[in-house]
Amino acid sequence: MSEVSTKKSASQQVLAFLLRMRQANMALILLLSLFVALVFAGFLIILTTPELLTSWESFFSHMGATIALTWNTITYAYVQLFEGAVVNFHDLRVLIDNPSMANLATVLNPLFGPSGTVTYATPLIVAGLGLAIGFQSGLFDIGGQGQVIGGGALCLIVAISVHLPAILLVPLEIIAAMAGGALLAAFAGVLKAYTGAHEVITTMMTSRIIGFLLPWFLTLTFIARPGFADGASKAIPPAGQLPFLLSGIGSNLQLSLGFVFAVASVFAVQWFFNRSKLGFQLKMVGQSPEAARTAGINSKRAIVVSLSLAGAMLGFAGMIELTGIDHFMSPNFGGSYGIDAIAVALIGRNKPWGVFAAALFFGAMQSGGLAMQSATQLQPSLALVIQAVVAFCVATPFLVVDIFKLKNGERYATSTAAGGWA
């Protein structure tokens, strides 16, 4: 009798576990979004690989061989994506068999190398936090790219003009960069608060203007690199560069002090929204402007402050990119950080640690995509497709809930339809 009841108890526990697995939550939705993205990218691999297309044209004459070739091609591509972003298993085995600093540096290269996951993600974490501040306040700052450039430009001016030891120069660079990004965003905030101009338009146009001004800025005599006409600026002096934390292991590892700043920023934004009065007010304005006005919160002030803080964080991201990675400015400075940060904040649901994880995911796709291309001859844009599909699924979680028939997913359908970005 006890054995029967034990079996029933075990089966009930398994059933309860399976039911819990079907309960809609954001972690499950993110996991299923990644699964959908990988499946979608798998179809694209088939469509963009001539050998696979040829095999599928005569599928019925050798079904087993076609399925095996397709499976091997797709799984090999995804293994290369993982190894290029996280760890190469062959290099790890070499390290285990022959421990040395050189082999350890090789193993850490996918994470901390010049095009590594964490290297790319570090400025993106800070930029995503900036946009999350705006989103939490109900404001859509689409001009992050210009604010990254503006912050980097003021940081560069300070770095090459002020001759101080690193302990004084780096804080000055941070202040200058945050001021540059904040001023650009505050301009859009003032227009929004006092004229009703939509922040999407004003921030986008400001970003375009800054982007067009950057090549001219780099030709100024005190900015341009002497003796060169390639549009590059002078280099950041050593005192103004963020030190690499793993340089003792290998010179190729570029984990800079900027990553410490990024993690500290996550804690700071978390505290700001959960513990500070101003953070609570900004969240209230974003979630219910009418209730905020009833509570006596100055909505105009909140708009300007929120966009200023968002711009300051994006300017800070520009400083980390300039002093921790590039060490000089070029006409394409900042890459696509301002644009990618929108998707990062969205995937992270505007939560600080969610933004942190989403930025690492984007860094992994960037780093792994390059490795996948070099090993398989596939386009690195396939990694960007995975990013885009995941972002789409997270932006519309009710679709994931419906596709996989998750339980208690009503709040995702309701909140997404009515709640907007916040």
Compute the mean pLDDT over every residue in the chain, rounded to the nearest whole number: 86
Indicate the domain borders of the chain.
120-362
Which pLDDT tens digit goes with each residue over 256-313?
999 999 999 999 999 999 999 888 888 888 777 777 777 788 888 888 999 999 999 9
Residue-level pLDDT at 44: 86
Using CA atoms, how far residue 290 sits from 134, 285, 287, 379, in Å, is 18, 8, 9, 49
CB-count burial class (<10 Å; 0-12, 13-18, 19+) for 350: buried
CA-based Rg of the chain, rounded to a whole angstrom?
24
Section 92-117 average pLDDT:
92
Query: Residue 233: beta bridge partners?
Result: 224
| Chain mean position to CA 341 | 5
Section 229-258 average pLDDT:
90
Section 372-384 average pLDDT:
73
If one compares 122 and 27, the residue with the highest pLDDT of the two is 122
Cα–Cα dist 146/135, whole Å: 18
Residue-level pLDDT at 383: 77
Residue-level pLDDT at 4: 54
Contacts of 255 (CB under 8 A, 6+ apart): 111, 112, 118, 119, 244, 245, 246
| Residue that is written with structure tokens 């929108």 in the block | 342
| Chain mean position to CA 270 | 17
Section 32-48 average pLDDT:
86
Residue-level pLDDT at 288: 75
Section 43-54 average pLDDT:
86
Q: Identify the band that residue 122 occupies on the pLDDT scale cut at 50, 70 and 90.
A: very high
Helices 26-48 and 50-57, interaxial angle, to 10°?
80
Residue-level pLDDT at 132: 93
Q: Is the pLDDT of residue 420 over 60?
A: no
Cα–Cα dist 319/127, whole Å: 11
Task: Find which of 117-121, 133-137, 330-334 is predicted with most confidence, using mean pLDDT.
Answer: 117-121
Cα–Cα dist 343/34, whole Å: 14
Q: Identify the band that residue 408 occupies on the pLDDT scale cut at 50, 70 and 90.
A: low
Q: Is the pLDDT of residue 414 over 60?
A: no
Residue-level pLDDT at 339: 87
Residue-level pLDDT at 323: 95
Q: Is the pLDDT of residue 18 over 60?
A: no
Phi, psi of 236 (to 5 degrees): -65, 130
If one compares 390 and 223, the residue with the highest pLDDT of the two is 223
Section 154-169 average pLDDT:
94
Cα–Cα dist 64/60, whole Å: 9
Which pLDDT tens digit goes with each residue over 331-346?
999 888 888 999 899 8
Which range has the worst mean pLDDT, 111-125, 238-252, 354-368, 397-411?
397-411
Section 416-421 average pLDDT:
39
